[in-house]
Structure 1
Amino acid sequence: MDISEIAISDYTEVDVGERLGKVRSIFERENPKGLIVTRDGEYAGVIGERDLVRSRIENDTKASVLMKSAPRVDRTEDVREVARVLVEGNTKIAPVYEGENLWGIVTADAILEAVLDSLDALTVEQIRTADVVTVNEQSHVGQAINRLRKHGISRLPVVDEDGYLTGVLTTHDIVDFVVRDADRQGRGDRRGDLDRMLDIPVYDLMSSPVLTATGDETVEDAVRRMLDNDISGLVVTDEEGGDSVAGVLTKTDVLRALTFTEEGQMDVQITNVALLDTISREEIVEEITGVADKYQEMQVQHAHVRFHEHKEKLRGTPLIQCQIRLRTNRGQVAGTGEGYGADHAFHVAADTLERNVLEVKGLIADEEYRGQLLRKLGEL
C-alpha cells in the first residue's frame, strides 16, 4: 500500500525567516493540516499544527526555531517506509514530492486512519510500552517536568500513594496551563509566577478520568479511541476500567508497529537519527544484529533505538540518553544508557541491554530445567 491516496495538498508554505506571530495567524485563518518551511524557495523543514499551537515561543521569533527536519517522501512511497520516516524523524508530518516537485504533506493521523482496518490483527499487549514512567499525584509539576525531560516522553500516568491510576499528565496539559496563566497575568518579569507554577501539585493539572486500553483489545479499537478523542496516547491497564498501570500505548507505537518485518526477520528502527555523531546508522544496526544473533532462540523481530538529547554538555558535546528495546517471542527486553555523544550513549545502553538479555535467557533456562525436573519426577 502506498501513500498516493493518503497524502494531501492541504498545507501552507512560509520562509524560515517568517515571524511566528504571522505563522500563527495563517494557521488561524487557513486552518491547514501542516506547514512547509522553505529557505530561498527550497524545502527546509516542517511545522506541525500541534507544535505551533502548544509552543510558548514569542511571536517575534523566526519560524526556523520551531521547524523540524523531516525527510521528504515520494507520493508513491510504501506506507510502511513512510511510517518509519515519521518515527525516526520524531515528527508527525512529512513533505510529499511528486518527482522533483513538492506536492503536499502526509500526516501520522492520515496514515493511521488509512490502515485502521488492518490493525485488528494486533493486540495492545503486543506493541505497548511496558516499562512505563509514572508520577505521584502529590508530586510537584516541576518534578513531573524533570521526569518528562529525563525520559524524553510526552505523557505520565498519575498514580496515588497506593500506586493506582488517578489521571494522566501530558506536556500539552502543562503548556496549556502556562499559556492560560500568562494570558491572565500579562507580560513582564514573571519568574516568581513560574516558580509557583512548578510547585503546584500534579493533581491540579492532570486530566481525569483517563482514557485507557487493555492488553487484550485490538490496536484498531485503541487507535479509534485516540482519533475520536484527538489524543496521542492511552494508558494501558490490567483490565477494563482497572486502575493498575500496565503500560502506555501511543500513536508512535502504532506507527512503529507498521514497520515490523515478517516473523523471523529483524527490523531496526532509530528515533532521532539527527543526533548521531561519530556512529552511523549502519554501525548501530550491525551491533544490534550481533546481539540478536547471539541469542537466536529468543527470535528478535524488531529493535527500536531511541536517542534523546539533554541540555547538559561536556566540551560542546551534549549528554545523550539512549534507549534500546527488543521485541522478541519472549516479550520485550530493554536497555538504557547515557553518555556524552550518541556513540557513547548507545554503547552504554547496548551493554545494559545485553545484561538484561542474559537475565531473560537465564530465566528461560531455569523454566526449561524446572519443566524437565517435573517431568522426571512424574515418571518416578
Structure 2
Amino acid sequence: MNITDIAVEEYVEVDTSTRLGKVRSIFEEKNPKGIVVTEDGEYAGVIGERDLIKSRIEDDTKASVVMKNAPRVKRTEHIREVARILVEGNVKIAPVYEGEKLYGIVTEDGILEAVLDNLDAITVEQIYTKDVVTITEEGHVGQAINRLRENGISRLPVLNENGRLTGVITTHDIVEFVIRGENRLGRHDRSGDTDRMLDIPVFDLMSNPVLTATPEETVKAAVERMFENDIAGLVVSDDGEAVDGVVTKTDVLRALTFTEEESMDVQITNIALLDTISREHIVESIESVSDKYQDMAVHHAHVRFHEHKEKLRGTPLLQCQIRLRTSEGQVAGSGEGYGSEHAFHVALDKLERNVLEMKGFKADEEYRGQLLRKLGDL
C-alpha cells in the first residue's frame, strides 16, 4: 500500500521568519497536526506541538529556530517507508511531493486511519513502552517541561503520594496553558509572570480521569480510543491505578515498519543526530550482539538518540537508548557520550550486559508471525 490516497493537500504553512507567538496562535485556533515551514516559497521543515516546549523560547523567536527537517516523501511511497521516516525523524507530518511540486502532507493520523482494521492482529502488550517517566501531583509545570524535553516524550502519567495513577499531563496541555496564560491560572493569579507560571502544580493542569488501555486489548481498540478522544497516547494499566507503561501512536507506527527481510529490523529515532557513525554501523553492531546468543531471536531493535545542552569542544552530549524485542522478551540498554558514536557504544555495552542478565522474560514467539500475517498486504 502506498500513500497516494492518504496524502492530503490541506496544510498550514508559515515562513521561517514567522514569530513563535503567531505559530502558537495557529495551533490554538486551527489545531493542525503540524505546520509546514517554507523559506522564499521553498520547503524548509516542519513544526509540531512538542517542538514549541523544547525550551522556554520567547514569542518573538523565529520559526526557523524550532523547525525540524522532515524528509520529503513521494506521493507513491510505500506506507511502511513513510511510517519509518516519521518515527526516525521524530515528527508527526512529512511533506509529500508529486515530482518537484509540493503536493501536500502525510500525517501520522492519516496512516493509522488507513491501516486501522489491520491492527486487531496485535495486542497493546506487544508494542507498548514499559520504561515510563512520571511526575507527582505536587511537581511543578517547569519540572514537567524539563522531563518531557529531556526524555523526548509527549506525556507524563501523574502519581499521587501513594504512587497511584491520578492524571496525565501532555505537551498539548502545556502548550495550551502557555497560550492562554492567565486564563489557565485558575485560583493562582500570577499576573502572567512566566517564571511563576512554571511553579504551578501539575495537579492544576493534568487531565483526569485518565484514559487507559490494558495490555491484553488489541491495538485497534487502543487507537480507536485515541481517535475518539483526540489524544496521541494512553497509559497502560491493568487496574487503572498502577502504571505498567504507555502506548502511543508512534509505538503503532513503529510496528508498521516491521518486515520479513532477512536483515534485522532496526529503527532509529532522531537519526539527524548521527555524526561520525552510520546507520549501517548501528545495524551491524546490534546484529553482532544478537548473533552471540543463538537462543535469542531479535525481532526488532529501536535506537533512540537525545541531545543534551552540554557540549565538549563543540560536540554535544547525547543520550542513546537501545531496546530489543526478542523471543525472550524485551531488553534495553542506555548510555551517554559526546557524539553519537560514543553514546551508542556505551549503550551497546550496557545492552549486552543486560542480555546476559536477562531471566524470566515471557517469550513472545508468536508476535512476529501474528503481526506480519495481518500487515503483510499493506
TM-score (norm 2): 0.85
Equivalent positions of 1:45-56 (< 5 A) are: 45-48=45-48
Equivalent positions of 1:175-194 (< 5 A) are: 175-181=175-181, 193-194=193-194
Maintained 8 Å contact 2:181/2:192 = no
Give the secondary structure class of the aligned counterpart of 1:129: coil
Higher relative contact order (CA closer than 8 Å, sequence separation 6+): 2
1:332-361 CA-to-partner distances (Å, cap 9, x unmatched) read 111111111111111111111111111116
Maintained 8 Å contact 1:121/1:218 = yes
2:216 maps to amino acid: D
Maintained 8 Å contact 1:56/1:175 = no
- 2:371 counterpart residue number: none
- 2:331 counterpart residue number: 333
Q: Is 2:136 aligned against 1:136?
A: yes
Q: Which has the higher mean CA deviation after the structures are superposed, 121-130 or 198-207?
A: 198-207
Distance 1:74 1:227 in 2: 26
- 2:253 counterpart residue number: 255
Give the secondary structure class of the aligned counterpart of 1:217: coil
1:104-150 CA-to-partner distances (Å, cap 9, x unmatched) read 11000110111100000010000000121222223333333333333
Equivalent positions of 1:262-277 (< 5 A) are: 262=260, 266-277=264-275
Distance 1:49 1:206 in 2: 17
Equivalent positions of 1:295-334 (< 5 A) are: 295-334=293-332
- 1:342 counterpart residue number: 340
- 1:78 counterpart residue number: 78
Distance 2:33 2:251 in 1: 22
Give the secondary structure class of the aligned counterpart of 2:244: strand
Shift of residue 265 of structure 1?
Answer: 5.4
**In structure 2, do the counterparts of structure 1 residues 59 and 194 end up closer, same or farther at CA, with 3 Å as the change threshold?**
closer
- 1:161 counterpart residue number: 161
Distance 2:320 2:313 in 1: 20
1:67 maps to amino acid: M
Identity fraction in percent = 75
2:305 maps to amino acid: F
Distance 2:28 2:159 in 1: 37
Question: Unaligned stretches of 5+ in structure 1?
Answer: 365-380
Maintained 8 Å contact 1:55/1:175 = no
TM-score (norm 1): 0.85
1:264-311 CA-to-partner distances (Å, cap 9, x unmatched) read 752000000111111111111111111121123111010000011111
Distance 2:360 2:21 in 1: 58
Give the secondary structure class of the aligned counterpart of 2:106: strand
Give the secondary structure class of the aligned counterpart of 1:245: coil
1:102 maps to amino acid: L
Distance 2:145 2:109 in 1: 26
Maintained 8 Å contact 2:264/2:283 = no
Distance 2:89 2:28 in 1: 26
Distance 1:37 1:276 in 2: 23
Give the secondary structure class of the aligned counterpart of 1:296: coil
**In structure 2, do the counterparts of structure 1 residues 341 and 141 end up closer, same or farther at CA, with 3 Å as the change threshold?**
same
1:42-75 CA-to-partner distances (Å, cap 9, x unmatched) read 3211234775799975554333123210001111
Maintained 8 Å contact 2:53/2:145 = no
Q: Counting helix residues as a fraction of each chain, which structure ranks higher?
A: 1
Give the secondary structure class of the aligned counterpart of 1:2: coil
**In structure 2, do the counterparts of structure 1 residues 44 and 293 end up closer, same or farther at CA, with 3 Å as the change threshold?**
same
- 1:87 counterpart residue number: 87
Distance 1:84 1:162 in 2: 39
Shift of residue 101 of structure 1?
Answer: 2.0
Distance 2:291 2:317 in 1: 30
- 2:367 counterpart residue number: none
Distance 2:214 2:44 in 1: 41
Shift of residue 223 of structure 1?
Answer: 0.4
Q: Is 2:196 aligned against 1:196?
A: yes
Shift of residue 37 of structure 1?
Answer: 2.3
- 1:372 counterpart residue number: none
1:179-200 CA-to-partner distances (Å, cap 9, x unmatched) read 3335689xxxx99944433443
Whose radius of gyration is greater, 1 or 2?
Answer: 1
**In structure 2, do the counterparts of structure 1 residues 352 and 56 end up closer, same or farther at CA, with 3 Å as the change threshold?**
closer
- 1:232 counterpart residue number: 232
Give the secondary structure class of the aligned counterpart of 2:295: helix
- 2:212 counterpart residue number: 212
Q: Which has the higher mean CA deviation after the structures are superposed, 283-292 or 134-143?
A: 134-143
Distance 1:307 1:345 in 2: 8
**In structure 2, do the counterparts of structure 1 residues 38 and 140 end up closer, same or farther at CA, with 3 Å as the change threshold?**
closer
Distance 1:196 1:29 in 2: 26
